[in-house]
Each structure stands twice: as structure tokens, then as C-alpha cells.
Chain A
Amino acid sequence: MIVCVAVVGHQNNPLYIQSFTDADDALKLHHIVHCSLDVVDERVNNPKKSGPTLNETFLGLLYPTENYKVYGYLTNTKVKFILVTTDLDVRDADVRNFFRRFHAAYVDAVSNPFHVPGKKITSRTFADRVSTIVQSFGLSSAV
């Protein structure tokens, strides 16, 4: 179950944070997203030779905490997408698929001429699309 998705700009400023459960404290989710940014920076600056090759956009599992798994994705403009989920078994292909669709929604939101780059994304269409993607996460078996 996806708990939270976040879009963080290239100066680590939050552009969009949305949580999908009422149970958990929103602040705690913010904190988790914030911590994962450090992991992203470290992953990008010190590439592992044996790991995924350099400049890969999908960063994979960033770090597991007590209940959550955090996945990261980096676009070419250094905008980061963070996904926080409580699922225990999550397929890699599902997450990649999720990020692909999320990236498409993000590109559409940013192409809006009234959107100021660097400011929060306020488009309701974007929010609706994101909730659709989140709800269909893990349900479809097609990759």
C-alpha cells in the first residue's frame, strides 16, 4: 500500500507531497521523505561500480525503515520522485512502471505555461492522475 509520494525539486525544495493514509502522521512522512533525499544525494555522488550503471534514472530501494520502504527516481533535470510504501513484497517492475507513469503525469503538469518552475505544483489534474496511478499500483499484473 502506498503511503506517500513526493516530488522534490533540484534544490531539494518540495514541489508536491501527498499522503494516502490518514493513519500515519503527516509530519513523520515528511521527515522520511527528507531523510531519503540524503540517500539520493549520496547515491548520485558516489556511484557504486557494481551497482546500476551511472546516470540511471531509477534509483531503486533507497532505504528500508521499520515499517516502510522508500524508492527513489531521479529525472534528467535533477527532480526527484520519492515513493513510500508499506508493502512487504513489492516487485521491481511494478515500481518502475509506477515511476514511468508518474513521470508522464509530472511532465504534463510542468508543461503548463502557468506553472512556475520551482514553485509547488498546484494542478488538480495532476493530483487526480497521481491518485489514479497510486490506486492501480500493484493491482495490474502487466508490466
Chain B
Amino acid sequence: MTMIGVGKIKQYSNILEKPLSKGKQEVSLSAFAFLFSELVQYNQTRVDNIAELERSSVNGSSIVNESNIFHGKWIRLEDAGYAVGARVLELLCHRDKVLLASWTSTTPSFGNEGNRRETRLLGILSFVHSTVWKVLFGKVADSLEKGTEHEDEYMISEKDLLVNKLCIAHHSYNQLVCLHCRFISIPKDMGTFNCGAFVAGIVRGVLDGAGFPAVVTAHFVPMEGLQRPRTTILIKFAEEVSTTRLPL
């Protein structure tokens, strides 16, 4: 579902001529912002309670400290994204096939999901970069790059990731600048929390479901000339994923 702020309605002269709508494929931005802010808050309180539980039951060996709590919040948001990603993959594979089958009798391969399974690394990456992004955010991701340092690292960048547009972060003492004000504000003591972890989880869910295990994280990359830092999703594939074609 894509996010819209304002919709355009075509005016029909006669109400009987209006086609039956098959329903909007979009969700309003404010509804999503509400849901997402609740999700972040839920994770926050949840992790605090677990931390309390751990501290009270295990005295002495408390490995729960502040950095663990932040890490925990990050992990939980990412796990929520993982669940979404796994389902999005199933849905897209089925939906693409149904669409293709309905208007062609034989199904030519577009090199994409269609009637076929993607086994190539670049194939699955471009699938995430274009199809998944288009379904989730209504547009193709800004760029897909290959990392220079390691063979199995790739980056998807987005100037204005939706979930980060919803957040403002107050960072006075490090190099990140203040993000544009929207709906969620991240207090200073939450440090390097990045709502892009949710999208990183979605990407990880899609890749894992397709058979390409990877570690996916979200990072802010400050850019010259831009007021807000760019969000980069860093994908590091596991060792068993070679850069050549996968046998299965």
C-alpha cells in the first residue's frame, strides 16, 4: 500500500457511470504515522519491562545496561519489520503471477518473479529495490550500490525514507543535524536509534524468505547540500550466499 497525503477524485457526471471501485490500494499517511508511533512506543515500554524483570530475578550478574536496552529496541522494531517482509514476499510473488497469467496465455519471463523464482543475487536485489519499494512506498528506491570494501555488501539508499520522515531526532552534540519535524520525536538519550530499522527488517524478511540470508541495518549518511541525512540500508549477505547464481 502506498501512502498518500491528498487524493484526487475524478468527477463523474452521473453517479451511475462511476465504475465500481476495487478499493484503494493506499493508506492515509496519518493513519500509518499513528500506527508506527504506537509500534515504537510499544517496543520501548516492552523492553524496559523485560529489563526490570531480568534485573530483579538475576541479581549481580546484570548484563542489562543502557546500551542493551537500546539495542533491544532496535532489534524488536526490526523483528516487526521481518514479519512484514516475509509476508510481503509471499504476497508479491503470488500477485505478480496472477497478474501476468491473466493477460498472457503463455508467461514470458521478465527476469522477475512472474512464474519464476529468483535465484540470482542481483535479481533479488533489484526486486527489493524496485518492486518491493514500489508496493510499500509508491516509488522505486533512490539508488542501489555495491559496497567497495567487501564483496557481499550492498546498499539501498533513500533520501527521504518514510519512517524517518516521521521522526525528528535531537542531536546537538554529534554530526547529525536536526531532521525535519513531523510526528515522532526521538529524545536525546535514545542515542542512535533509527526508525529505518523497521524497513531494514522488511528487507531482511524478503531476502530471508527468498533464500538469501543477510544482516540488514539502517544508517544515516550525512550528505553535503542536503538538510537531512540520507538513510542507507546496508545489506551484508551471509557467507553461504555466493555472488554467483544460487543452486536452489
Contacts and interface: CB of A to CB of B under 8 A. Distances in A.
A103 interface: yes
B116 interface: yes
Contact of A77 (B90, B97, B119, B247): B90
A77 B93 contact: yes
Nearest to B94: A107
Contacts of B89: 76-77
A18 B5 CA distance: 46
A137 B94 CA distance: 20
Interface stretch (A31-39, A52-60, A124-132): A52-60
Contacts of A75: 90, 93-94, 117
Contacts of B248: 44-45, 78
B247 A57 contact: no
B115 A56 contact: yes
Could you say which interface size class chain A belongs to? 20 to 34
8 contacts: A45-B248, A53-B116, A54-B116, A76-B89, A78-B211, A110-B87, A110-B90, A111-B91
Of all A-B residue pairs in the complex, the 10 with the closest CB atoms, nearest first, are A55-B116, A76-B93, A55-B117, A77-B209, A107-B94, A76-B117, A111-B87, A107-B90, A103-B94, A110-B90
Interface of B: 83, 86-87, 89-91, 93-94, 97-98, 101, 109, 113, 115-119, 209-211, 247-248
Given A76-B90, A117-B83, 18 more contacts: A10-B211, A45-B247, A54-B116, A75-B94, A76-B93, A76-B117, A76-B209, A77-B89, A77-B209, A77-B211, A78-B211, A78-B248, A104-B98, A106-B90, A107-B91, A110-B86, A111-B87, A117-B86
